[in-house]
Each structure stands twice: as C-alpha cells, then as structure tokens.
Structure 1
Amino acid sequence: MKIYTKTGDKGTSSLYNGERLVKDDDVFEALGTSDELSSNIGLAMSYLEDQKSKVLVEQLLQIQCLLQDIGSNIATPRDRSNERKLQRTTFDEEGEHVAQLEKWIDEMDAELPRLTKFILPSGGKASASLHVSRSVCRRAERTVQILVRDQLCDNSVGIYLNRLSDYLFNAARTAAYQIGEPERIYTKPV
C-alpha cells in the first residue's frame, strides 16, 4: 500500500464514516491538533528516556494510544455515522481514563514540592517539552470544544483533554524534580 493516495489533492479528506470534508473543517483542525499533541508527547518521551523516567514514559505511551482513540472519535461525527462505527469509536463512556489521569496527578502531587508561585516552562529538556505538550493540549481542547458543542464528538473527549493538560503540567514538574533541575519562577519585570 502506498503512503500517498492523491485523494486529498483537491482540498478534501475523508472521515472514518466515509464522508469527505474540506481540509480546513473544524474536524480536521481537531484531528491535526491532537496529532500534534501526540508528536510533542513523543518528543518529550525521548527526553524522559534519556533521564531514565520509566514511569512517566509508560504513562505517556498509554496516553498516546488514547489520543489515537480520540482521533477515531473525532473522525466519526456522532450525528451522522452508523451505529457500528459509533460503537467502535466511543471514548471513555465510564470516565475510567479520566480517573486514571487524576490518580497519576495525585501521585505526582504527593511527591512534588508545594506550588506557591507561578512557574515558567523550564526544568530541563524533558520538562520543557512536556510544557510544550501541555500548551498544545490546551489548544486541542479548544478545537474539540467546538465539536463537543455541536455534538460531533463525545463530551468525554473534551473532559479527557482538559484533565490531560493538568497531568502534563504535573508531569513537567515531576521531570524537573527527578533530575534536580530548578523550575524558573515568574517575577514581575521592573
């Protein structure tokens, strides 16, 4: 199978349900941003592997897999896809994935120094790249909210991305803490 199909050369692409939309449709914006998020997480994982952060790498690998599931949900508009495809792409109906993120966040909170000031993205390459991932995650959440509002994807996708940005914040802090790299603190410029 060739990597290129030429079917998108006229400015459209197809969704999982077979529907073709223009490439700048909100659905493709959300898909592209969640893909960008996964790519940034992959970069962060490579830095975490360098600093031997096995637990964070394992968690992030699971998150990348869930981002693929999110992409499937986004690519299957809930209001115009058949029941079989809807069932195949339903995301986190029971909230288990969100609960897992919350558990990981709480575990990191228990180990991290108490946050008393605003921190700036810093703390070494792994930490800084996780902050980039957090920022991209916030954008992914904003693009998905348009689809959630229009009932084109599951509400749980938006909830997961919201909690994921919190997780990525704590993961960035944890990555810095693990190697003893100080986080830069915001100070008002004079």
Structure 2
Amino acid sequence: MVVLNRIYTRTGDGGETALGNGARVAKFCTRVTAYGTVDELNAVLGMARLHAEEDIAAALARIQNDLFDLGADLCRPDMARDSEAGYPVLRMVPAQVDRLEAEIDAMNARLEPLRSFILPGGTALAAHLHLCRTVARRAERLTVELATTEDVNTPALTYLNRLSDWFFVAARIANDDGRTDVLWVPGANR
C-alpha cells in the first residue's frame, strides 16, 4: 500500500530522483524520461476520459490503471534482482497485452477498412485519443531506447506498442465507427 502523507521531500532539488530500487539517478536519464512520458500519457488519457461514455470510459479507466503498473515496472531496473526486493515487484504481464489485442479486434470488427490515412480529429473524444496515440508512441520510442542499454520487461514494450494501436482504433470508434473520420487528401492545398 502506498502512503503519501507528504508531497514534497526536497530530495530531488539537486536534479536527481530515486528509482523503484532506491538507486538515485539524474531526472533526465532515459529510464526516468520513459516512465515520465508514461505518466504524461496517463494525464492526457484523463482528459480523454472526460469525453468518454460507458464501454470506452471503462476501458480507458482500465488502461489508466495499467499505465500506473507500467510506470512501476519501468521505474525499477535490474529485473534479475526482483527476487531480492523483499516484496512482489510489479511487472507488466502478457495478459495485459492480450486484453488490449482482444479489445482492438472487437472494435476493429465494427469498422470498414481504411482506404485513406486519417487526420487526427473528428469528435472531441477522437481528437483526444489521437493525442494519446502520439504520446504512447513517444513513450514507446523512449522505452525502446532504454532497452538498448538496460533490461526492459518485454511485455512492457509490447503493451506500449499495442496501446497506440488501441487508441487509433478507439478514435475511429469515437468518430461514429469511422463514418466521420477526417480523411487525408494528399496534396489538397497545392
């Protein structure tokens, strides 16, 4: 259980922060940037939820919780030492990826195939979901970069990759099942 009775600690005033294993690192290190971007995504997703109803709202709430799991996973390096933590270390698991894939498949079954690229927009929810998609892609790029120098839990990377796809398909659902998608017209303003 997390207990936060004091919000500021002053321990980061010198430009360092603590990782999940207690190690202190610069606030601009790749790991911190990756999980910080996941946190940014969660905040953007909170804005999207303001426009969501029923099934999509419930799915977005599940994803927000997953994003906290993902941040917890990314903030703890050295997976080989998880057993030494003295408590169960929270890591992303394949079942979280599987759920996203099943939801993508179910939403995509309602949609006509794309015959054009689409522009981010349409309904307020769709526009916000497209923003979520782009922030998810940035979080994925940063996590991939992190994985070039440090161990990263494979389901964490896979989850981020699927998540941007989920947001894309959900944005189409939010645009009246794709009927009001804003289509790209190549060279329209030449």
**TM-score (norm. length: structure 2):** 0.90
Which residue number corresponds to residue 92 of structure 2?
A: 91
% of aligned pairs identical? 36
1:13 alignment partner, SS class: strand
2:7 alignment partner, SS class: coil
**Shift of residue 37, structure 1, vs aligned partner:** 0.6
More helix by share: 1
Matches within 5 A, 1:1-190: 1-48=5-52, 53-78=53-78, 81-85=81-85, 87-92=88-93, 95-177=94-176, 182-189=180-187, 190=190
- Partners of 2:51 and 2:36 lie apart in 1 by 23
**Shift of residue 84, structure 1, vs aligned partner:** 4.4
- Partners of 1:79 and 1:117 lie apart in 2 by 42
Distance 1:91 1:84, change over 3 A: farther
The count of corresponding residues between Structure 1 and Structure 2 is 183
**Shift of residue 87, structure 1, vs aligned partner:** 4.4
- Partners of 1:83 and 1:160 lie apart in 2 by 23
- Partners of 2:175 and 2:84 lie apart in 1 by 44
Q: Which amino acid aligns with 2:29?
A: D
**Shift of residue 151, structure 1, vs aligned partner:** 3.7
Q: Which amino acid aligns with 2:48?
A: A
Specify every segment of 5 or more residues in structure 1 that has no aligned partner in the other structure, as ranges: none
1:10-68 CA-partner distances (Å, limit 9, x unpaired): 010001111000110101100110001111111101111xxxx2101111111111111
- Partners of 1:78 and 1:87 lie apart in 2 by 14
- Partners of 1:167 and 1:25 lie apart in 2 by 28
**Shift of residue 148, structure 1, vs aligned partner:** 2.5
Specify every segment of 5 or more residues in structure 2 that has no aligned partner in the other structure, as ranges: none
Distance 1:174 1:100, change over 3 A: same
Asked if 2 retains the 8 angstrom alpha-carbon contact of 1:145 and 1:158, the reply is yes
- Partners of 1:149 and 1:188 lie apart in 2 by 36
- Partners of 1:187 and 1:157 lie apart in 2 by 35
**Shift of residue 2, structure 1, vs aligned partner:** 2.0
1:88 alignment partner, SS class: coil
Q: Which amino acid aligns with 1:62?
A: R
Asked if 2 retains the 8 angstrom alpha-carbon contact of 1:112 and 1:177, the reply is no
- Partners of 2:37 and 2:162 lie apart in 1 by 16
Asked if 2 retains the 8 angstrom alpha-carbon contact of 1:45 and 1:60, the reply is yes
Asked if 1 retains the 8 angstrom alpha-carbon contact of 2:104 and 2:165, the reply is yes
